[in-house]
Copies of this chain bind each other. A is one copy, B any other.
């Protein structure tokens, strides 16, 4: 049953007295020149007045292109994904594509189930924000000839394009900021090390500390969540290294660090300075306002969509890694370190 009032090629053909193939050609800018000018104009006019819009499903079946892109997120509720998704949706829309969003969690098996589902919808490509290192989801897509782009995280193999923030630079900015404010004993609450962000930020932290010839104290969180940050932060603080600052691998972990400090009766930044990562919404409003590393998430989403569209068009499997420059945002959670015993 045809949906109410939706015009088909056949109707236009009937109304103009030509064959559907002629109508199809007349309405396709690429093929319009194959049709006599007056006829094409007549067809365009009728199509216009009937409000004709091509049925994408039929087009998709015939051509194999659906104008749909799958977007796999590990957790929609995580505030960093909203601007990424927004950027993706925007960039896709300008090229006539639409995103199908899947909140696929962190388990590989479930992610693959979602990919298969999207594959059945015949999406033209996939944007993954989910990958952990050496993920099998990427291979799964690639095996099936599906273009893939990674966003926010990337894998340590050169199979597909990606767009991420310069995590190493971000950590250097954070550490340099603290060091230039007199901090020397600095700890790091790292993210899960099976994600590129977790690993690269940890490495970036270590290298930045080494550069200043300082020892790196590190504890790993199991998840990028506020709750996940509490235990490692407590561990760092309790390790009697007398830390004066903590760099967290993302803002949520920084919030968990605040929680841990509160439990231990420590104050920020008076006792310990804290730096986050991401500059997600509202962290400027919490108390104290969070010093953090700003990442252009929206631009990241746009870039991911553009990379994917390019690959969909060209299908040359050309791998490209875009790295965005992060920016240090200084707020109230960091303060200069006063010498232990003021005069």
Chain A residues proximal to chain B, CB less than 8 Å: 1-6, 53-58, 60-61, 64, 66-68, 76-79, 81-83, 85-86, 89-90, 93, 96, 98-103, 114, 116-122, 143-146, 255, 258, 281-283, 285-288, 298
Are the C-beta atoms of A100 and B100 separated by less than 8 Å?
Answer: yes
Please provide the 9 A-B residue pairs with the shortest distance between their CB atoms, ordered closest to farther. Answer: A287-B287, A4-B145, A285-B286, A76-B86, A282-B282, A89-B103, A56-B120, A57-B60, A57-B61
Contact B89 A122 (CB under 8 A): no
Q: Which of B55, B82, B144 contacts A120 (CB 8 A)?
A: B55
B83 & A77 in contact (Cβ 8 Å cutoff): yes
Residues of B within 8 A of A58 (CB): 61
Nearest-Cβ distance from residue A192 to partner chain B, whole angstroms: 21
A255 touches B285 (CB 8 A): yes
- Name 6 interchain pairs, CB-CB below 8 A, sorted by A: A54-B120, A58-B61, A67-B121, A79-B282, A258-B285, A285-B287
Assembled-state Cα–Cα distance A68/B57 (Å): 11
Closest residue on chain B to residue A60 by CB atoms = B57
| Residue from B2, B121, B283 in contact with A282 in the complex, judged by beta carbons closer than 8 Å | B283
Is B90 touching A143 in the complex (CB atoms < 8 A)? no
The docked-state distance in angstroms from the alpha carbon of A68 to that of B122 is: 12
Are A3 and B98 in contact (CB-based, < 8 A)?
Answer: no
With A and B bound together, what is the CA distance between A6 and B81 in angstroms?
31
Alpha-carbon distance A2/B122, docked complex (angstroms): 10
Contacts A93-B102, A100-B100, A282-B282 given; 19 further ones with Cβ under 8 A? A2-B64, A3-B122, A3-B145, A5-B143, A5-B144, A53-B116, A57-B66, A76-B89, A79-B79, A81-B82, A82-B82, A89-B102, A93-B103, A96-B117, A98-B102, A281-B282, A285-B286, A286-B286, A286-B287
